[in-house]
Structure 1
Amino acid sequence: MTAFRPMTIRLLAAAATAALALGAATPAAARDLWTKAEAKRWYDAQPWLLGANYAPATAINQLEMWQADTFDPATIDKELGWAEGLGMTTMRVFLHNLLWENDPEGLKKRIDTFLTIAAKHKIKPMFVLFDSCWDPNPVAGKQHPPIPGVHNSGWVQGPGAARLADTAQYGKLEAYVKDIVGSFANDKRVLAWDVWNEPNNEGGGNYKPTPNKKQLVAGLLGKVFDWAQSANPSQPLTSGLWIGDSWDRAETLDAVEKIQIARSDVLSFHDYNWPEKFEQRARQMLSYGRPVICTEYMARGAGSTFDGSLPIAKRLDIGMVNWGFVDGKTQTRLPWDSWKKPYTFDEPTVWFHEVLRADGTPYRQAEADMLRAYSAAPKGVVPSPSRK
């Protein structure tokens, strides 16, 4: 086990305080950041958190998942039934500000329908409010079909480049956050709120980068936490770190990461590396003394697998949410490099993400068996390997 020096912890606490002073201060009307004891009580009351980042196989992105014309409760019910059969207890699900701007009441009704289906399958979702990955120019309405052979070819950022750069739009973003979080603030079917996915990500894919994106996000992220806290949710807030090697050292954190750590009730992170790096990053996150959830992992071709990461996480009592569930329109069975060399003639040798094929059968039966065994075992207990 890695030992963390008291001086390191004091520096991190000072950095968190500084981040709050630099524009991330909690407004008087908002609930406070949970204490470490409050966060622990919440986490101890949950089952071991196991799940996937979820969009139904029929949706190319979060807009297509939730818009009235393409919302697909039958597929959602079928696929969450498969998740229940694997022992999954949560799903990380992306929303979008455009959905609310165009149809706020309809969106809330569809969220309620989704939560009813999820509860039927004993799954408590974590909702993501904003996202810095992939297409920076989201457009509501009919979405384009998947680009053949390309990973996540239709996923969109929220709020998107135009709204991020235009402070006159921030009132709409504030109203979106307050209405959505406020409407479900005491809903026991909701696990948590992930306020911004990989906020300091430049975007990815072949898209044109957003000018001054990191600076703009650093100026907005604290406000998003403010807005979510002002709704006084009974569920925790979080935003996950995803890049870097020294998350337990305040001097290496950028402005966005300092806000993420300072404002998250429970901490979260992403890791798509080999088990050694996963454990290093996991221990760095645990050094803050709060519960930890890994909200993205499992990219087989990059060395991140269920076999490698789950035993470490279970032993450390870290919740685990892998990327992708059922192979479908997101095409994330294909690797990241498909943006440069699309897999239009041959399938990749190994699926990158996804747990199940379109018909619900496991991509790898041993993985499905492992998920069920780990879910059934008590927290902190790594089950013995199957002897089949």
Structure 2
Amino acid sequence: MSTRCSRPLSVLVLILISLAIPLAGSPTPQAWAQDQDQDRAPGRERWTPEQANAWYDGLPWLVGCNFNPSTAINQLEMWQADTFDPETIDRELGWAEDLGFTSVRVYLHHLLWEQDAEGFLERLDQFLDIADRHGIGVMFVLFDSVWDPHPRLGPQRDPAPGLHNSGWVQSPGADDLMSPEREPLLVHYTVGVISRFKDDPRVHAWDLWNEPDNTNDNSYGRNNLDREPEGKRERTLELLERCFTWARSANPSQPLTSGVWIGQWSDPDRLSPTERVQIEQSDVITFHTYDPVDRAAQCVENLRRYGRPLLCTEFMARPQGSTFDPVLGYFKDQDVGAYCWGFVAGKSNTIYPWDSWQDPYESEPPVWFHDIFRPDGTPYRPEEVSYIKRLTGRAD
């Protein structure tokens, strides 16, 4: 790890306050608003490629899924006290263990911190315990720019029939994203959560922001009632840059990242401003691809130039040609970490394709878009399960 640099007194006070938050119950974000240097607080430096590769070499092949229990429609329903479902989580992570999965990528939400910081942290700890009993580590995702821009705490709506991810919510939503007075909450949440688990071996990595420049044009963005706020990309870029600084101020022993997700990144001179921040600030390089194996291979070849471990944090959309066989096999051959989207079919409705936003399905699609198991644990395609087990050494 890099040596921590010296800090001005005001910054030291800021960080000490953040470290005390988990012990003090619900946070008071207003306290942070007084420190105008919060987005420039120094922390550990970005890992060198050598440090990043040493971290990766000390782990098993990171293979798994984006995990959301089948009983939760979104991040809020997964984590709120009234709907947190450790029994289902334990059962479904047992199926992940049986496949040989070693890691899961799991989304959080800043409103959960505002609602009940200590209770939220306790549930995160409980989840980590369950995953650890199954030999599975966790990559936590702090923010997400995809799907519903108007999250609300409390009971969540029922799934819309035949509609892909009809209840998934952004963090921060449009209101909090565009309100500078809410930014201290985002700082509190980032530093508070990472500080609690910054040296926890059950946490594999911190994915700071999922698809930050996604404007949801084919889903919520097409509906005037739910249209994304003007200036979303510019504002998100500002916060993404600051978020890396906030996260590093907690001095985590795990890597920080944010994954690129559009195209194959063949020309480093033509990266978007957001992609440039993601690649230049990440300790390890993460990316998404829902394309067939030849295009997935282009992604890997192009991102090798950075000399850092590569993790594909989203893949597998059957009708798109992104299938376990051969894409997952290619990732293993290339020593690339791999997390498919979805696991157990449930309230997220991700068996339905993205085009269901234009034309909702009246029945189960002829080919599932995502997910591996039905809610009772029956594989959607037994041959896929057999293939995954062969790759992970669980075939016997």
- TM-score norm. by structure 2 comes to 0.87
C-alpha distance in 1 between matches for 2:244 and 2:182: 17
Q: How does 1:376-387 map to 2 (within 5 A)?
A: 376=393
- How far does residue 29 in structure 1 lie from its aligned partner after superposition? 3.1
C-alpha distance in 1 between matches for 2:301 and 2:75: 32
Counterpart of 1:343 in structure 2 is: 361
Confirm or deny that 1:296 pairs with 2:309. no
Counterpart of 2:140 in structure 1 is: 127
Contact 1:27 1:230 in 2 (8 A): no
1:221 to 231, 234, 240: 240
C-alpha distance in 2 between matches for 1:168 and 1:26: 14
Counterpart of 2:26 in structure 1 is: none
Residue 294 and residue 128 in structure 1: after superposition, are their counterparts in 2 closer, same or farther (change >3 A)? same
Q: How does 1:140-219 map to 2 (within 5 A)?
A: 140-203=153-216, 204-206=218-220, 207-219=226-238
Confirm or deny that 1:241 pairs with 2:260. yes
1:283 to 301, 314, 324: 301
- 250-259 vs 292-301, greater mean Cα deviation: 250-259
| Structure 2 residue matching 1:311: 3-state secondary structure | helix
Counterpart of 2:391 in structure 1 is: 374
Counterpart of 2:373 in structure 1 is: 356
| Structure 2 residue matching 1:294: 3-state secondary structure | strand
**What do you get for the CA RMSD once the two structures are aligned?**
1.4
The one-letter code sitting in structure 1 at the alignment partner of 2:205 is: A
The one-letter code sitting in structure 1 at the alignment partner of 2:176 is: R
Contact 2:208 2:258 in 1 (8 A): yes
1:92-114 Cα offsets, whole Å, 9 max, x none, are: 00000000011100000000000
Counterpart of 1:331 in structure 2 is: 349
Contact 1:270 1:295 in 2 (8 A): yes
The one-letter code sitting in structure 1 at the alignment partner of 2:248 is: Q
| Structure 2 residue matching 1:287: 3-state secondary structure | helix
1:319-374 Cα offsets, whole Å, 9 max, x none, are: 00000000000010011111111112x32110000011111111111111111111
C-alpha distance in 1 between matches for 2:232 and 2:348: 25
Contact 1:296 1:320 in 2 (8 A): yes
| Structure 2 residue matching 1:172: 3-state secondary structure | helix
The one-letter code sitting in structure 1 at the alignment partner of 2:252 is: P
- 92-101 vs 366-375, greater mean Cα deviation: 366-375
Matched-pair identity in %: 51
The one-letter code sitting in structure 2 at the alignment partner of 1:361 is: T
Unaligned runs of at least 5 residues, structure 1: 1-24, 378-385
Counterpart of 1:307 in structure 2 is: 325
Residue 268 and residue 26 in structure 1: after superposition, are their counterparts in 2 closer, same or farther (change >3 A)? farther
Q: How does 1:57-136 map to 2 (within 5 A)?
A: 57-136=70-149
1:53-108 Cα offsets, whole Å, 9 max, x none, are: 01100000000000000000000000000000000000000000000011100000
The one-letter code sitting in structure 1 at the alignment partner of 2:127 is: F
| Structure 2 residue matching 1:191: 3-state secondary structure | strand
Give aligned pairs, total: 352
- How far does residue 251 in structure 1 lie from its aligned partner after superposition? 2.3
Contact 1:40 1:291 in 2 (8 A): yes
C-alpha distance in 2 between matches for 1:64 and 1:168: 26
The one-letter code sitting in structure 2 at the alignment partner of 1:93 is: V
Contact 1:54 1:93 in 2 (8 A): yes
1:322 to 340, 347, 352: 340
- 204-213 vs 332-341, greater mean Cα deviation: 204-213
1:147-204 Cα offsets, whole Å, 9 max, x none, are: 0110000000001111111111111100000000001001111010000001111125
Contact 2:105 2:139 in 1 (8 A): yes
- How far does residue 308 in structure 1 lie from its aligned partner after superposition? 2.5
Contact 2:42 2:245 in 1 (8 A): no
Contact 1:202 1:210 in 2 (8 A): no
1:258 to 265, 276, 296: 276
Counterpart of 1:269 in structure 2 is: 287
Counterpart of 2:33 in structure 1 is: none
Counterpart of 1:8 in structure 2 is: none
| Structure 2 residue matching 1:195: 3-state secondary structure | strand
The one-letter code sitting in structure 1 at the alignment partner of 2:219 is: G
| Structure 1 residue matching 2:161: 3-state secondary structure | coil
The one-letter code sitting in structure 2 at the alignment partner of 1:369 is: S
The one-letter code sitting in structure 1 at the alignment partner of 2:244 is: F
- How far does residue 26 in structure 1 lie from its aligned partner after superposition? 9.1
Unaligned runs of at least 5 residues, structure 2: 1-37, 221-225
Counterpart of 1:18 in structure 2 is: none
Contact 1:248 1:287 in 2 (8 A): no
The one-letter code sitting in structure 2 at the alignment partner of 1:218 is: L
C-alpha distance in 2 between matches for 1:26 and 1:293: 27
C-alpha distance in 1 between matches for 2:58 and 2:84: 32
C-alpha distance in 1 between matches for 2:304 and 2:167: 34
The one-letter code sitting in structure 2 at the alignment partner of 1:138 is: P
The one-letter code sitting in structure 2 at the alignment partner of 1:170 is: E
- 368-377 vs 110-119, greater mean Cα deviation: 368-377
| Structure 2 residue matching 1:367: 3-state secondary structure | helix
Residue 28 and residue 64 in structure 1: after superposition, are their counterparts in 2 closer, same or farther (change >3 A)? closer
- How far does residue 212 in structure 1 lie from its aligned partner after superposition? 1.1
Counterpart of 1:56 in structure 2 is: 69
Contact 1:135 1:157 in 2 (8 A): yes
- How far does residue 35 in structure 1 lie from its aligned partner after superposition? 0.5
Counterpart of 1:22 in structure 2 is: none
Counterpart of 2:5 in structure 1 is: none
